[in-house]
Structure 1
Amino acid sequence: MPVRKEPSDKSELITELLFGECYTILNQEGNWFLVQNAADGYEGWIDFKQHFPVSEAYFSEWQVQQHPRTLNLVDFIYNNQNRIPLLLGSTLPFFVGNSVRLGEEEYSFAGQVSDLNIAPEAHFLQNIARLFLKAPYVWGGRTVFGLDCSGFVQQVYSLCHYQLPRDAWQQAAHGQEVHFASQTKPGDLAFFDNAEGRIVHVGLMLDGNQIIHAHGEVRIDTLDHQGIFNADRKRYTHQLRIIKRIFPNL
């Protein structure tokens, strides 16, 4: 579901809501709701026609539980009346057996799901990140069909059941600092700033000082103490600001 900066279809996309996520309505203007994503606190406007209300009891229960995520690029939930498409990283509310509860309705799901009981491992995190390779860059996007740099990183970590904020500068406040590019481990996050010193980009480290990030598309480049070197363009494209380790034991 597109979430826009202003209450208009012409307004820029600032983020997206994926299936299974909850939000609260903060305000209404005409046919638009100002909403706040319950997972990351991000705010923006949605079209009232895409609003799906749930009870306060459902929302309260949803907030205190962890819910697995879909691992297939595209899949479906279904019941006798409906079939709903899901994208990689969608939340499966109250998933038990093969049952998903959406409001008062029950749906079946037979695809792959993330395991809430397994601690994240480096190879799993890298494999999840590579599922997004070649996904096009879309400002405000959070899906394999289009996403931005921080949306990509947020989705990868969500699939490891760690909730990062939405924007790169917010994500940079998480984790422990890694002082040298040569000391990075797979899963570390590298942040990059612009000429004014604002953090404007983020990528996820892989083995061998490689970094996977959304820049034109989700791609793999090389990182050193200076920044990201793009071999295709034969130049540095991003200036390194700081590296953070989210999972110390990864």
Structure 2
Amino acid sequence: MLDRRLHAFRPDLADLALKGQVEADRFVSPQPAIINRPVVALRPKPDLTIGIDTELLMGEEVRVFERNNGWAWVQALDDDYVGYLPEDALAPVVASTHVVTAPRTFVYSGADLRFPTRMALSMGSRLMITGEAETRGTRYLLLADGGALVARHLRPLSEPVVADYVSVAGLFLETPYLWGGKSGFGIDCSGLVQLSMRMAGHKAPRDSDMQAVGLGTPIERQDLKRGDLVFWKGHVAIMEDETRMIHANGNTMSVARETLEAAIERIGWLYGTPTGYRRPVAET
């Protein structure tokens, strides 16, 4: 049985690539688009009153299978997640040149930090930069519409990525916990793993159950070290060293640091002991 989170199929409509694997009244080839909002929620149904599955960030690419009644049924290019989002959150594809590397940053109306802001963007947002400017010693990168961002908050996509994804995760400490969140404005446990790893050049599945079976290789608890993952039922944490971990959690409602022993004791009464340990990045 194909996972509906990762494959676009319904009784009435399905991805043409799934023809012969699923039954549907009609099969279509998806059309490309990108996200044009700072953050947009992806939902399992076209209904604003239900919870979100995940989020997509500015500049992320999607495949569009349907546009109907103000909603679009899409699949994210990065992790294959399928869901519904508002149709007006989509724009034609343009080639991104830079990615935001700060947890959060502002788009100003011009190259001056005293100017009004237009929006705030999360780490991982992708942009097309068309120029640069300098004001009072601060360098800015410019968008085609005149918007400006502090240059030190972005990295050209052509440049090397950060080697240590754990250091990226640490930048999110105190970020509010948000179920389904995947941004610097709110993030959940598996979103923290996925976004941090993506910024370090590694792909990761979106949800913790996917990560628990398909990310890296299993290890034993005694072998845990920096960068390894600890899984509980419905939860994942990143080991900062042999004893401490970072995770987005519903206890502090934030990204927080605590010892593995303290977490096992605290979580155990409700979710039991850890279900597994994995090393997501191969040693070199």
Kept after mapping to 1: 8 A contact 2:162/2:199: no
What is the deviation of 1:13?
1.2
Q: 1:156 to 1:29 in 2, by over 3 A?
A: same
What is the deviation of 1:174?
1.8
2:104 match: 74
What is the deviation of 1:99?
5.6
Higher relative contact order by CA 8 Å / sep ≥ 6: 1 or 2?
1
Kept after mapping to 2: 8 A contact 1:6/1:44: yes
Q: 1:132 to 1:184 in 2, by over 3 A?
A: same
Gaps of 5+ in 1: 194-199
What is the deviation of 1:105?
6.5
Please give the secondary structure, in 2, of the residue aligned with 1:154: helix
Kept after mapping to 2: 8 A contact 1:132/1:144: yes
What is the deviation of 1:10?
0.8
2:152 match: 111
1:228 match: 263
Q: 1:19 to 1:119 in 2, by over 3 A?
A: closer
2:10 match: none
1: CA distance between counterparts of 2:56 and 2:161? 26
For residues 164-191 of structure 1, the C-alpha deviation after alignment (integer angstroms, 9 at most, x for no partner) is: 111112122121222x222112111222
For residues 35-65 of structure 1, the C-alpha deviation after alignment (integer angstroms, 9 at most, x for no partner) is: 11111111111112322x214xx4xx67xxx
The yes-or-no answer on 1:29 pairing with 2:59 is: no
Identity of aligned residues (%): 27
What is the deviation of 1:108?
4.8
The yes-or-no answer on 1:90 pairing with 2:125 is: yes
2: CA distance between counterparts of 1:189 and 1:22? 28
What is the deviation of 1:79?
7.0
TM-score, structure 2 normalization: 0.67
1:244 match: 278
Q: Equivalent residues in 2 for 1:166-181 (5 A)?
A: 166-172=206-212, 173-178=214-219, 180-181=220-221
Kept after mapping to 2: 8 A contact 1:72/1:88: yes
For residues 200-233 of structure 1, the C-alpha deviation after alignment (integer angstroms, 9 at most, x for no partner) is: 1111111132111111221222225xx93357x8
Kept after mapping to 1: 8 A contact 2:217/2:278: yes
2:170 match: 130
Please give the secondary structure, in 2, of the residue aligned with 1:229: helix
Please give the secondary structure, in 1, of the residue aligned with 2:99: coil
The yes-or-no answer on 1:38 pairing with 2:77 is: yes
Q: 2:238 aligns with which of 170, 194, 204?
A: 204
What is the deviation of 1:145?
2.1
1: CA distance between counterparts of 2:176 and 2:190? 13
What is the deviation of 1:234?
9.8
What is the deviation of 1:71?
2.0
1: CA distance between counterparts of 2:223 and 2:190? 22
Kept after mapping to 2: 8 A contact 1:228/1:238: no
1: CA distance between counterparts of 2:99 and 2:271? 33
1:54 match: 92
2:249 match: 215
1: CA distance between counterparts of 2:225 and 2:46? 42
What is the deviation of 1:106?
8.0
2: CA distance between counterparts of 1:187 and 1:95? 36
Q: 1:183 to 1:73 in 2, by over 3 A?
A: same
Q: Which amino acid aligns with 2:76?
A: N
1:163 match: 203
Higher Rg of the two aligned structures: 2
1: CA distance between counterparts of 2:276 and 2:129? 37
Please give the secondary structure, in 2, of the residue aligned with 1:186: coil
